A and B are shown apart, each in its own frame.
Chain A
Amino acid sequence: MPIEPTIKSRPVYGTLSPQPGTDHLFIADAEGAEAILDLAKSAPPGFFDAAEIVFIPRASGDGYLAALHALKPARFYEGPSIGAALPRLKQTFATAHMGLRLYLSGTEGLIGQAMQAALDAGIDHSSIQTEHRGSLARRVQCVHCKGVTEDVTTQPVTCSHCGLLLLVRDHYSRRLAAFQGVCINAEDQSEKVPVEEVFR
């Protein structure tokens, strides 16, 4: 399901396509692997010879591993979460040279956090491609306690830090790589609000 642009701060994503150069870094989770595999179909020969793939399988298990390995990237890293991969990614970004091309695909949480680390390292926005695939789950920052709740699929959601019931807004901060969560029943916390699964 494509993500509809709603408000101006809400990120929109494109489709990965092979970029010129030799230095390609792919970061993907779960169904994000499909975006890499689709790109590979139109990539010139030898495209992956110097490429690195950082892949977080999550619920996809080993479903995409064989296909990704078959692309024969120069380096392949498989990790349990984007959080676990960030330290090595930060080092990669810090030592990257100008020609690095970055391809981010999968959930918004992965794209947002990888983007945040890349921009912090001074990687130019124009050398980053993104494609959303898979779950619509959101990373949400509670505006009250500032804690981040990962993989939010419901509206509203209970903050995993302070326990307030949060309305998940479309308002998004690239700097925080998170949507904003604001207490939905702040005026009267005894008010019961139905919880629906909306970000599948």
Chain B
Amino acid sequence: MGIQFRTETFRDDFTFRNSPEHIRRFPFPFHEDSYMYAVNIEPHVPGPKGSVLENLIDVDEHYVSEMADRALVLAEDPLRCQSLPHMTLAGWDLLELLMTEQAKGYPEHFTLTRDGDNWHWINRPLGIDQKFVFGDLSTLPYGPMEYITRQSQGDFCILDQRDGNLWMDAGIVTTQADWSLDFDIGMNFFEWHAPVPLAHEKGVFTRALKFLLNIQQGQPARRLNWTMTINPRLDTSPENFHKWGPDRTTVTPENVGQKVHLRVELQSFWRLPRSNAMVFPIRCYLIKMDELATSKKWARRLHRVLRDLPEELATYKGLTRYRPTVVEWLAKHDDGAPTSSGFGPD
């Protein structure tokens, strides 16, 4: 039995929602009742069956609709997908990684057959059957990075490693939490993180970079990051901020449950074999407050995290305008009981 892919939207009428099984597997990002930046990086190894970590590249019920949304974003704004000229080899590396992992994790949906450089890729959910020559650009309809990331959930940044730093030299970014690939492409690790408050002073990026530079092939790492989004909108880009920003004024005590979403990024970091570049998939998971509150522990804990979040972080994450309304709504789900440690729902 394969995944039942939902037909839903992340714009206009916003029909996105999670099935009960997907609510239970949501990657809730808070292991305690408060939050501050930390270098929370751990080995990206397979997790429990049924969790988002069961496979290292997760495919879920939103796959088909997310890919349709990505195609809409790219049609409107091709600058969301860019690759500097020296990054083509890394693109092939990424294509290999994603095809291999998706075929391994979901054989009922994806099949990859390799005969030397002659590859045959079958993507059943999207109805794609592609024979091509690995390394030969003329045999695919897009560059290798764009080709495979139009078929893979999450944003992808490919980082070149040189001069003891990582450089954002290629990527496809259509489901981002308010940062611009077009502006940041070509920047090094410290530069593209420059606008993040508090973390530089804590030495977070220096330590994180040191860790990332040493990641070896076959030993990926991961971390979770989070923000909140009004309406289940994947494309919360700065490019379109003037279009989605007004959503933040529409939150009322009556609609918090349906309108306000916790947005979690599962970020993973992989060394690529031929190019020695790193790929940094940023996979976005959304959950409505109504869905989240089906776990008493999650609602209780999110209430405490949001209520006590430092003002700088709330501002940076764009929560200022609606935080009080959400905290008030969540307070009704917080009976003051202690929460158990760890991320799980109960």
* B interface footprint on A139-178 (CB within 8 Å = 1, 0 otherwise): 0010110100000000000000000100001110111100
- Count residues on chain B whose CB falls below 8 Å from chain A CBs: 25
Contact residues of B between 171 and 226, Cβ < 8 Å to A? 180, 182-187, 190-195, 200
Interface residue ranges, B against A (CB under 8 Å): 79, 180, 182-187, 190-195, 200, 238-242, 245-246, 248-249, 321
How many Å from the CB of A112 to the closest CB on chain B? 13
- Count residues on chain A whose CB falls below 8 Å from chain B CBs: 23
Number of contacts between A and B (CB, 8 Å)? 67
Decide: B183 and A176 in contact? CB cutoff 8 A: yes
Q: Contact check: which of A174, A182, A183 meets B186 at CB < 8 Å?
A: A174
With A173-B184, A187-B245, A187-B248 in contact, is A143–B239 under 8 Å at CB? Answer: yes
Decide: A144 and B192 in contact? CB cutoff 8 A: no
Decide: A173 and B186 in contact? CB cutoff 8 A: yes
* Residue A10 at the chain B interface, CB threshold 8 Å: yes
Decide: B321 and A187 in contact? CB cutoff 8 A: yes
Decide: B186 and A180 in contact? CB cutoff 8 A: no
How many Å from the CB of A156 to the closest CB on chain B? 13
How many Å from the CB of B177 to the closest CB on chain A? 14
How many Å from the CB of B324 to the closest CB on chain A? 15
A sample of 20 more A-B contacts (CB under 8 A), given A7-B194, A186-B245, A189-B242, is: A7-B195, A7-B200, A8-B190, A8-B193, A9-B192, A9-B194, A143-B239, A144-B240, A144-B241, A146-B182, A170-B195, A171-B194, A171-B195, A174-B186, A175-B185, A175-B187, A176-B183, A187-B246, A187-B321, A188-B246
State A144–B321 Cα separation when bound (angstroms): 22
With A8-B190, A8-B193, A143-B180 in contact, is A188–B200 under 8 Å at CB? Answer: no
In the complex, what residue of chain A is closest to B240 when comparing beta carbons? A144
Where chain A touches its partner, the secondary structure class is: loop
Decide: A182 and B238 in contact? CB cutoff 8 A: yes
Q: Which residues of A contact B194 (CB under 8 A)?
A: 7-10, 170-171
Decide: A180 and B192 in contact? CB cutoff 8 A: no
Q: Contact check: which of A7, A146, A164, A170 meets B79 at CB < 8 Å?
A: A146
Q: Which residues of A contact B321 (CB under 8 A)?
A: 187
Q: Contact check: which of B190, B195, B239 meets A144 at CB < 8 Å?
A: B239
Q: Which residues of B contact A180 (CB under 8 A)?
A: 180, 183, 238
Decide: B183 and A183 in contact? CB cutoff 8 A: no
Decide: B186 and A188 in contact? CB cutoff 8 A: no
How many Å from the CB of A139 to the closest CB on chain B? 13
How many Å from the CB of A122 to the closest CB on chain B? 12
